[in-house]
Amino acid sequence: MKKIIRLLALMLIPAASVIAAPSVSAPEINAASAILIDSETGTVLFEKNADALIPPASMTKLMTIHTALEFINDGRAAADDLVPISANADFRNLPPRSSLMFLEEGQRVTLMELLQGLALPSGNDAGIAVAEYLAGSVEAFVGLMNEQAAKLGMLQTHFDDSSGLSEKNVTTAREYAEFCRYYIEKNSSRIADLHMLQSFTYPKTENLGPSGKSVHGPITQPNHNMLIGRMASVDGLKTGYIDESGFNFAATAVVDDRRLILVSMGGPGSNSSDGAIKRAIDAAVLLSYGFYAWSFYQPEVPLEESVRVYGGTIDNIGLVYSPADEILIRNTNLDKLEFVRVLRPIELPVEKGSLLGRWKLMLNEEELQSGIITAAESIEKGNIFKRICDALRKPVR
């Protein structure tokens, strides 16, 4: 396992340390569905069956955390609130094979500890405790989760519980990537405390109930995201697995202030270790591809260009192109970019700054962006002799 992780770490070398390799091709991955996006622009860098409906499994907990943070952010709850643990949230009452924080009825736990228990060991018991505390019941809290999804335009997404155990939870890689993008932007100050810790220990002495004891004593569990702490650029977010979904992963990484977001779903695995390794490999390969094979590029518009004018006081008029915006583009497409100029018939007189046409930046017949072309100077009509001479010279179309 350690050798495999070290191999993964080598795969994700910061892109700034190497020259971008135009020959990097889109990778083959294990997951049935995946999407890789640039966080700043939303540009899709890779997708595979990204609109397939798949249960998010424990990635559901990311929406649980987000909904809880909405309570904290607007003052309806506080991170240090002590949350009562009911029998429903006691780990002994959860289904077999559940991932657990190991909560026990009567323990004293802060809301932030529960959110860490959701994010790191992926405790299904923590999902119940958070829902009951903030909304009175899991059902009511799930209604709030679905309200959040609707507000974000997640039309294909529906939540049935707060932990991700149910196969009735459903989303797509595309919608969940956009949600992750929003989640990171909205909760950037919480990322380190919730997603970057390598392990989580519970219960501590202050969590124990009146008896001062717990069933198992302090249990230290690793972050289920095996890339945390092993790849410096990776700082989140959430894994998931149920039989009906396969192995899922919402991952994000930052290199030189450039953040990528990956969601992979439906990953295979003969057992939990095999599936966890394969989804980590998928994530490493895709993030590496995004940083190596895609770059921001500043298109340069023509600076000194003019066109022939007939019948004016001068023969040529300078063109001014509006600036082009920086684009995120696959390196292999850089030499395929083309500026196309579309000018309207020039009628004299022309005032400086008047609209003469538009420009388009094209890639394989797809318009990436456009701008305007204006006159660099004013031109008046020439005298009658000049207009007659130019009329004779003007090409017939």
Q: What are the angstrom distances between the C-alpha of 152 and each of 134, 140, 145, 149, 267?
A: 21, 19, 11, 5, 26
On whether the CB atoms of residues 42 and 280 are closer than 8 A, the answer is no
Distance, in Å, from the CA atom of 329 to the CA atom of 350, rounded to the nearest integer, reads: 37
Residues in CB range of 382: below 8 A, 6 or more apart: 311, 312, 313, 390
Q: Is 238 annotated as a binding residue?
A: yes
Residues in CB range of 388: below 8 A, 6 or more apart: none
Q: Which residues are catalytic?
A: 58, 61, 122
Please, which residues bridge with residue 202 across strands? 219
Residues in CB range of 147: below 8 A, 6 or more apart: none
Distance, in Å, from the CA atom of 135 to the CA atom of 113, rounded to the nearest integer, reads: 18
Distance, in Å, from the CA atom of 174 to the CA atom of 271, rounded to the nearest integer, reads: 26
370 is written with which tokens? 């456009």
Distance, in Å, from the CA atom of 14 to the CA atom of 18, rounded to the nearest integer, reads: 8
301 is written with which tokens? 């518009």
Could you list the residues known to form a binding site, using ranges.
238
Could you list the residues known to form a binding site for substrate, using ranges.
238
